[in-house]
Amino acid sequence: MDKNFQEEITQIIKFKPPLYKQRHQFVKDLVEKYKPKKVADLGCADCSLLRMLKFCSCIEVLAGLDICANVMQEKMHTLSPLPVDYLQPSERSLTVTLHHGSVAHKDPCMLGFDLVTCIELIEHLEEPELKKFPEVVFGFMAPSIVVISTPNSEFNPLLPGVMLYRHPDHKFEWNQAQFQSWALETARCYDYSVEFTGVGHPPTGMEKAGFCTQIGVFIRKYPQTGGSVQSEKPTEAVYKTVFKAVYPSLKDEKYLQNAVISEVIFTAQIIKHRLMSKHKEYGDDPERKSKFQPSMDCFSDYLGKLVVEKNMEPFVSGNEVYIPLATIFSFPKVNRLCGTFEKLCKLIAGKVTLSSDGSAVIFNIEHENEEN
């Protein structure tokens, strides 16, 4: 290739965002499209893809596998829950696990996944490992979707400084025909369909080179027949688990209870505040009091509609304010958290001060009266 032309091309071939980010974004888009619950990333390296995927709210189980424990462990702490995850537990459950092992070996911890990603992995496999790879991933793990990305060697002449392979650890780099024939044969063998795409567009006029990173998206043709398939699979564990994080979730009764108690107290405080300001405004004048209508500004708009119903009206008696639980339960967030009124009662029992019949939250306003 003419040197000036090569230089010109080199100017053009600067991927924005960088290619690795485009590959990860590709996986994220796929997750958003298919909404898998369980995702495994094979050859996860520094866990950067897993770190991105943990924010996809459909995912409940995330697993990483790599043959190099050091590279995984370097940043694995970044997969741990943050303080904010404890302060505001998510509605979904999420478990993140990292395993040390090879994609050439079967381990039962890799069963039951919906999506398996192999991003820039296969070109790192020695020939015997590559031979075993399809049986492990497609035959044994058999997820609904497999994504495999690998360098497209036809693009290499367009990349600055690439002599043989793009990385010294690559054992091979395939052109488009080589990757596609391997992928089609693998898909045929294990009853998958495969579609080819990629990231990193070639420059105008050089479309024949194809994408810089070639990608195969494999979709399993037939659903797995649950139990029978599982029981045929070996159960001996060969991978070593090096990291496991269980995120706080509202599916866990302990976190749900905390969230419900906070929300109930918060809601009751707001209702009380509205009631007290009205109480102060109208004082004890029965005539003025009878004209009491909850004000219709933002929050009170909602409350106003509720108090029309009997037994749902908050009231003051002596030094105590009574906020009916039924009113609190009608608020969308409390309602969504608890699901049923019975569950609300169960979760706050003994944790929030209630009236003797248990139908209302009580606040003592003695000191508030004194202050005023």
**Burial letters 316-353, b for 16+ CB under 10 A, else e:** beeeebbbbbbbbbbbeebeebbeeeeebeebbeeebe
Contact set for ligand SAH, span 68-87 (CB under 6 A)? 68, 71
Residue 88: other Cβ atoms inside 10 A? 12
Q: Which stretch binds ligand SAH (CB under 6 A): 99-107, 210-218, 239-247, 356-364?
A: 99-107
Work out how close the CB of 33 gets to ligand SAH at its nearest, in angstroms, rounded to a whole number: 19
147 near ligand SAH (CB under 6 A): no
Token pair of 201, please? 């567009």
Q: Which stretch binds ligand SAH (CB under 6 A): 121-129, 266-274, 296-304, 306-314?
A: 121-129
Report which of 352, 134, 324 is spatially closest to residue 257, judged by C-alpha positions.
352
**Burial letters 120-146, b for 16+ CB under 10 A, else e:** bbbbbbeeebbebbbebbbebbbbbbb
Q: In what order do the strands lie in the sheet with 320-324?
A: 315-317, 320-324, 360-364
CB closer to ligand SAH out of 39 and 344: 39
119 near ligand SAH (CB under 6 A): yes
CA gap 88, 255 in Å, rounded: 9
Token pair of 220, please? 């399993």
103 near ligand SAH (CB under 6 A): yes
Q: How many residues touch ligand SAH (CB under 6 A)?
A: 22
Among 106, 124, 220, 272, contact with ligand SAH (rule: CB under 6 A)? 124
Work out how close the CB of 124 gets to ligand SAH at its nearest, in angstroms, rounded to a whole number: 4
Among 58, 61, 104, 345, contact with ligand SAH (rule: CB under 6 A)? 104
CA gap 130, 173 in Å, rounded: 13
Binding mask 7-46 for ligand SAH (x = CB under 6 A): -------------x--x------------------xxxx-
120 near ligand SAH (CB under 6 A): yes
Work out how close the CB of 139 gets to ligand SAH at its nearest, in angstroms, rounded to a whole number: 16
Among 9, 13, 40, 49, contact with ligand SAH (rule: CB under 6 A)? 49
How far does the chain reach from its first CA to its final CA, in angstroms? Answer: 88
Query: Which position's Cβ is nearest ligand SAH?
Result: 43
116 near ligand SAH (CB under 6 A): no
Cβ pair 72, 97 in contact under 8 A? no
Q: Which chain residues interact with ligand SAH by CB under 6 A?
A: 20, 23, 42-45, 48-49, 65-68, 71, 102-104, 119-121, 124-125, 129
